[in-house]
Amino acid sequence: MSDTDPVPKPALADVRVLDISNFLAAPLCSMFLADFGADVVKIEQPGRGDEIRYWGHDKDGVGLYYKVVNRGKRSVTADLRTPLGVEIVKRLAKDVDVVVENYRPGTLERWGLGYDVLSAENPGLILVRVSGFGQTGPNSSRPGFGTLAEAYAGYAHISGHPDGPPLLPAFGLADSTTGLMAAYLTMVALHEQRRTGRGQVVDLAIYETLLTLLGPQVVDYDQLGIVQQRAGSRLPFTAPRNTYRTRDGRWVSMAGSAQSTFERICAALEAPELVQDPRFCDNRLRLKNAEALDVELQKYIGGFDFADLQERFLRLQATVAPVNDIAAIFEDEHMAARQNIVAVEDEELGGPLRMQNVVGKFSRTPGAIRASGPRMGAHNRDVLVDRLGFDEEQLRAAGVPLEPAEQKTALGGES
């Protein structure tokens, strides 16, 4: 693009989203859409806001993770259990493409906000419904969230060491994968809507994406009766695959799925005899002897310092990567060159804060973080008065603030 070319609009600049969800999975869906320019209005409970404001760490009473998950959105406060809150959602739903929600099945209908109501004046509306167990099935009415999904989908059963308990992930894995899938399904539904003019309901259970991503478990059990068990960092379909410690105490991750890859690893370690060893000469044999292979590899890797190991592997195009903590990620030259972490100005915190950047690089219409997560109700006037035409006195009488107040809340709660 030359300096004289007009700057193209963001890829999703013509997409309007109403986010009436909270916590993590569904708000991540609308975050991914906002990253590429969608106009996202987020509804929050008056006085308290989205519960994610109280998750994890805070700075000066301001929840930090909220700033990431709700970046690029506008915050409006409305109590959906009141006639005014219902009316606000109805008015907004008239001219948006997508509504995202994550209440227990039946809740929207009980409030008078079911799809039949919301789509009556907007037949092209897409309603993305994220719930623990989906809108149908015997478990649909059960409460559910990411931690339960990680166990229910089978992830926890295969996570950990053989002699240890099942392990849950140390971050919101099920919620995060659900957010990604919900954004993808939204774009699929939008594509069909643009072709037909008709909307529809997208029904996504939090456990479903993780179940699909867990690899060959289903087909292996169906055809061979195999139940995958915990094996630490090893995989049941390729070897080697593990973490190993260098002489100077650094950890590296290494995998050799293809035969040529394994041979380059052995060349980098100056261990050609491993390639000739009858226990390790092809992938299926390595899988049968994975524990013995790991012992041999650790013996060789433990003889090199980290920097020397990296140089050797790079020179021979062998596969290895450092086991980074977040401090190392902040110092990583490649991630800096890719701008994987970006600074975003935040008025509430009084300066910049760094967060993960938009995922993926577009050559012509790149995504961008337009703003960090806003103060609660920061856009009440903009949306309720200027866009929807509500009377200021009516809103004030209902306790809806039209100017965002300083919100230094006492944070706590379970993450």
pLDDT exceeds cutoff 90 at 257: no
How far, in Å, CA of 239 to CA of 289, rounded?
Answer: 9
CA dist 252 to 95, 105, 246, 413, Å? Answer: 51, 45, 8, 35
Q: How many other CB atoms sit within 10 Å of the CB of residue 207? A: 25
Mean of pLDDT values over 208-230: 96
Mean of pLDDT values over 85-94: 98
At 84, the pLDDT band (50, 70, 90 cuts) reads very high
At 411, the pLDDT band (50, 70, 90 cuts) reads very low
Mean of pLDDT values over 81-98: 97
How far, in Å, CA of 19 to CA of 89, rounded?
Answer: 10
Mean of pLDDT values over 335-339: 97
Cβ atoms of 230 and 157 closer than 8 Å: yes
Q: What's the gap between Cα 141 and its chain centre?
A: 24
How far, in Å, CA of 154 to CA of 208, rounded?
Answer: 11
pLDDT exceeds cutoff 90 at 4: no
Q: Give pLDDT tens digits for 189-218.
A: 999 999 999 999 999 999 999 999 999 999
pLDDT exceeds cutoff 80 at 373: yes
Report angle CA 330, 335, 338 to the nearest 5 degrees. Answer: 140
Q: Give pLDDT tens digits for 120-166.
A: 999 999 999 999 999 999 999 999 999 999 999 999 999 999 999 99
pLDDT exceeds cutoff 50 at 16: yes
Q: What dotted CATH number matches 16-212+344-397?
A: 3.40.50.10540
Mean of pLDDT values over 39-55: 95
pLDDT at 415: 30
At 2, the pLDDT band (50, 70, 90 cuts) reads low
| Catalytic residue IDs | 175
Nearest to 128 by CA among 150, 153, 101: 101
pLDDT at 403: 83
User: How much of the chain, in percent, has pLDDT values that exceed 70?
Assistant: 96
Report angle CA 361, 362, 363 to the nearest 5 degrees. Answer: 115
How far, in Å, CA of 344 to CA of 35, rounded?
Answer: 13
How do the domains of the chain map onto residue ranges?
16-212+344-397, 241-328
Q: Write down the architecture of domain 241-328 according to CATH.
A: 2-Layer Sandwich (3.30)
Q: Give pLDDT tens digits for 97-119.
A: 999 999 999 999 999 999 999 99
Q: What global pTM score does this model have?
A: 0.93
